[in-house]
Chain A
Amino acid sequence: MQTKRTIFGNKGLPYLLLAPQLAITAVFFLWPAGQAVHQSFLREDAFGLSTTFVGLRNYRALMDNSEYLNALQVTVVFSIATVVLSLGLALILALAVDRMLRSAAAYTTLLIWPYAVAPAVAGILWWFIFNPSIGILPFVLEQTLGRDWNHNLSGQDAMILVVIAAVWKQISYNFLFFLAGLQSIPASLREAAAIDGAGPVKRFWTITLPLLSPTTFFLLVVNVVYTLFDTFAIIDATTGGGPAQATNILVYKVYDDGFVGLNLGSSAAQSVILMLIVMMLTFIQFRYVERKVTY
């Protein structure tokens, strides 16, 4: 079988060109990840004075731990809600802006703004707005709907709060990609469909959405990773995983057990599991979801 390929005269050159990227991967991913795997088989006191090899005990302990199983469940709810809402709202906004002629630039700028806000700052912002004693929103809710908002006590309120904060932060990013995706769809296709008598809704489902699928797929992968890792700061700044662990997502629990509780073995085991979950999700997405994508 013959394949077309470029022949490099110098055998070392490709490796040299790859070296910087490989070095970064090794230093910032392989090495720390290897350390985490190593640490996950140990039981150690905080200072590292006495270390015992415990095999898979840290992992087994997690499987029997109702708090860990709760964190898994919370993460699933949080991730699905955040991904669906941030993708859905961003798509609606992108569709709206795509129809604008003169004001599109202004709306785009405004909508991208939240992306420039650091997650911790976004968390604090929403924490202030929703604060049960000094926030404006609980006050308004109480006055208008008689709804007693208290995310310090109600796990449901807390979940809504962190989802809103996480979604708000991510909409900008999704919006930008959706808008770019929409603008690359040739207007002639939609016009042809319109002439054939397809209404706006039908045009969206049969033309816009399928042609947008590469963008949607890319955003799906990015958003899932975002909800699993990057939302740490939002959780830390708003609920701290509470009340009663109602918003304690996996990545926050890794931090809390490792850096607050100083239980490094368990924390390392949790981060290894989290790493495996993300690898598995990404694999599934590329293997099965990508098949439905038309480039």
Chain B
Amino acid sequence: MSFSKIAAAGTVSLLALAGTTQAQTQIDWWHAMGGELGEKTEALATAFNASQSDFVVVPSYRGTYTETMTGAIAAFRAGEQPDIVQVFEVGTGTMMAAEGAIVPVYQLMADAGVAFDPSAFLPTVVGYYTDPEGRMLSMPFNSSTPILYYNKNVFAAAGLDPAQPPRTWAEMESFSRQIMASGAAECGFTTGWVSWVQLENFSAWHNLQIGTLENGFGGLETELTVNGPVQARHWENLARWQQEGVFKYGGPGGGADAPPLFYAQTCAMYMNSSASRAGVLNNTPDFEVGYGMLPYYDDVAGAPQNSIIGGATLWVLAGGSAEEQRGVAEFFNFLSSPEVQAQWHQDTGYLPITQAAYDLSAQQGYYAANPGADTSILQMTLNTPTVNSKGLRFGNYVQIRGIIDEEFQRLLAGDVDAQGALDAVVSRGNALIRDFEAAN
């Protein structure tokens, strides 16, 4: 703790030294975008700084999502917090509960007198980050949703129609078996983010409740309910398919081993974030990639519903001066303008957060030139979100994600059956949610 305080204080003083013009108000922005995404992120700040002369946004890369969030929290405890911090979606519960530490975006915009229309945003994106009254708490920045990527060359070699991705899990299995039998590929499919894709999105996509009280949006007394029969059936299938080689497990968390399985043509299909699109295209020069929506069980009523998002939003931390907050409001206004959003969306594969940005991209001919780039948006907006598919919000969710991974691993290792694994997710997860409730 003491070390982070010193480190944070050091960074802040360095940033102060680096400030260019004294007259401009400096706005510190901590983010977790490394590599190419980092360059695009810094470019946004540069563009904003060039567009006006009152404020200077100083972006600063703070490591992974977890490191950025915990770093900002440690800095807050030391009174050295940045104005804006990028927090991943599973940190939403923690940030929201920290009343007094954060400034909700709706309030920020009203206080600063910046014109702001929440209805311009895509409901499925913004819905994740609103309070029960529908007011926006944080600024969506990089949101994505999982989609299906498939290898068209392998499909053709296996005698399947390369233009037709599987729509249902039954097709997923039969296509996989045909591919394996033909020798076109060794395995049917793999997946990144088991927790996010094969449980959270799976539930939303089938219009199944993830937790009580509107998936946790309604209050801290929520309880997980992901151990229903449909989820158990799906996990049982995944375990069986793993045994039979139809499915290959790519590891916990993001599933670091999943992308190479798809790139090396070991597995013919792959489910992961729509923001993986650029990475997929860069790594697959030898074959053509097709895009599809997530598969569903066609005998489940209400499926397919709509998928939910992942990614991160920008939170405003309390403690900045009124002038700094006005600068943040102006910056957010800049970020949500159609031109900036459309460019960001096209450069990175993240979702556009406003309808106008999507329309602009379409008008610019982006989707016509890049088939599959709009799969994510079509899937997200397939139906009006229900209480089950609006998103989810639970305290201590970072750890609960870890529990989902652990129980899935126990299932695949044969230590427990699917129902047992999901029951354990629910009971262990609920214990953490109770802890969170007690601490807040």
Query: Residues of A at under 8 Å CB distance from B?
Result: 31-32, 35, 39, 43-50, 131-134, 150, 152-155, 240, 242-245, 256-257, 259-263
A45 with B406: CB separation less than 8 A: no
- Residues on the B chain within 8 Å of A150, using CB: 249
A152 with B440: CB separation less than 8 A: no
**Majority secondary structure, B binding face:** helix
Interchain residue pairs with CB less than 8 A apart (26): A31-B2, A32-B1, A35-B2, A39-B1, A45-B97, A45-B98, A46-B94, A46-B98, A47-B73, A48-B76, A50-B439, A133-B266, A134-B260, A150-B249, A152-B251, A152-B252, A152-B257, A152-B409, A155-B413, A243-B406, A243-B413, A244-B406, A244-B407, A259-B66, A262-B73, A263-B399
- Residues on the A chain within 8 Å of B413, using CB: 153-155, 243-244
- Least CB distance, B430 to chain A, in whole angstroms: 15
A260 with B398: CB separation less than 8 A: yes
Q: Which of A132, A152, A261 contacts B396 (CB under 8 A)?
A: A261
- Least CB distance, B112 to chain A, in whole angstroms: 23
- Residues on the A chain within 8 Å of B407, using CB: 244
A153 with B412: CB separation less than 8 A: yes
New contact pairs (8) apart from A35-B1, A50-B440, A240-B253, CB-CB < 8 Å: A46-B73, A46-B98, A133-B248, A133-B257, A245-B406, A259-B66, A260-B399, A262-B396
Q: Which of B99, B249, B439 contacts A44 (CB under 8 A)?
A: B439
Residue of B nearest to A43 (CB): B439
Complex interface residues of chain B between 80 and 112 (CB less than 8 A to chain A): 94, 97-101
Query: Residues of B at under 8 Å CB distance from A?
Result: 1-2, 66, 70, 73, 76-77, 94, 97-101, 248-253, 257, 260-261, 264, 266, 396, 398-399, 402, 405-407, 409-410, 412-413, 415, 435, 438-440
Q: Which of B76, B398, B415, B438 contacts A43 (CB under 8 A)?
A: B438
Residue of B nearest to A44 (CB): B439
A45 with B440: CB separation less than 8 A: yes
- Residues on the A chain within 8 Å of B257, using CB: 131-134, 152
Given contacts A47-B77, A133-B261, A134-B257, A243 and B409 within 8 Å (CB-CB): yes
- Least CB distance, A222 to chain B, in whole angstroms: 24
CA distance A152 to B252 in the complex (A): 7
- Residues on the A chain within 8 Å of B101, using CB: 47, 49
Residue of B nearest to A127 (CB): B256
CA distance A39 to B1 in the complex (A): 11
- Least CB distance, A77 to chain B, in whole angstroms: 18
- Residues on the A chain within 8 Å of B398, using CB: 260-262
- Residues on the B chain within 8 Å of A243, using CB: 252, 406, 409-410, 413
- Least CB distance, B367 to chain A, in whole angstroms: 33
Residue of A nearest to B100 (CB): A49
Given contacts A155-B413, A245-B406, A45 and B70 within 8 Å (CB-CB): no
CA distance A238 to B42 in the complex (A): 31
Q: Which of B77, B97, B99 contacts A48 (CB under 8 A)?
A: B77
CA distance A133 to B77 in the complex (A): 42
**Majority secondary structure, A binding face:** loop
- Residues on the A chain within 8 Å of B252, using CB: 152, 240, 242-243
B409 with A153: CB separation less than 8 A: yes
Most buried by A among B70, B249, B413, B439: B439
CA distance A241 to B201 in the complex (A): 26
B98 with A47: CB separation less than 8 A: yes
- Residues on the A chain within 8 Å of B402, using CB: 256, 260
B76 with A47: CB separation less than 8 A: yes
- Residues on the A chain within 8 Å of B249, using CB: 150, 152-153
CA distance A260 to B68 in the complex (A): 11
- Residues on the B chain within 8 Å of A43, using CB: 438-439
- Residues on the B chain within 8 Å of A45, using CB: 97-98, 439-440
Q: Which of A35, A49, A154, A155 contacts B98 (CB under 8 A)?
A: A49
CA distance A48 to B399 in the complex (A): 19
- Residues on the A chain within 8 Å of B435, using CB: 263
- Residues on the B chain within 8 Å of A31, using CB: 2
Q: Which of A50, A244, A261, A262 contacts B409 (CB under 8 A)?
A: A244
- Residues on the A chain within 8 Å of B253, using CB: 240
Most buried by B among A32, A49, A245, A261: A261
- Residues on the A chain within 8 Å of B250, using CB: 133, 152
- Least CB distance, B299 to chain A, in whole angstroms: 30
- Least CB distance, A59 to chain B, in whole angstroms: 15
- Residues on the B chain within 8 Å of A263, using CB: 396, 399, 435
- Least CB distance, A147 to chain B, in whole angstroms: 16
CA distance A243 to B438 in the complex (A): 29
Residue of A nearest to B416 (CB): A244
CA distance A131 to B257 in the complex (A): 8
CA distance A261 to B401 in the complex (A): 11
CA distance A259 to B4 in the complex (A): 11
- Least CB distance, B439 to chain A, in whole angstroms: 5
A32 with B2: CB separation less than 8 A: yes
- Least CB distance, B373 to chain A, in whole angstroms: 27
A262 with B70: CB separation less than 8 A: yes
Residue of B nearest to A257 (CB): B399
- Least CB distance, B124 to chain A, in whole angstroms: 27
- Residues on the B chain within 8 Å of A39, using CB: 1
- Residues on the B chain within 8 Å of A154, using CB: 413
- Least CB distance, A31 to chain B, in whole angstroms: 7
- Residues on the B chain within 8 Å of A242, using CB: 252, 405-406, 409
CA distance A212 to B94 in the complex (A): 55
CA distance A32 to B251 in the complex (A): 36
- Least CB distance, A73 to chain B, in whole angstroms: 16
4 tightest CB-CB pairs across the interface, nearest first? Answer: A243-B409, A244-B406, A133-B257, A47-B101
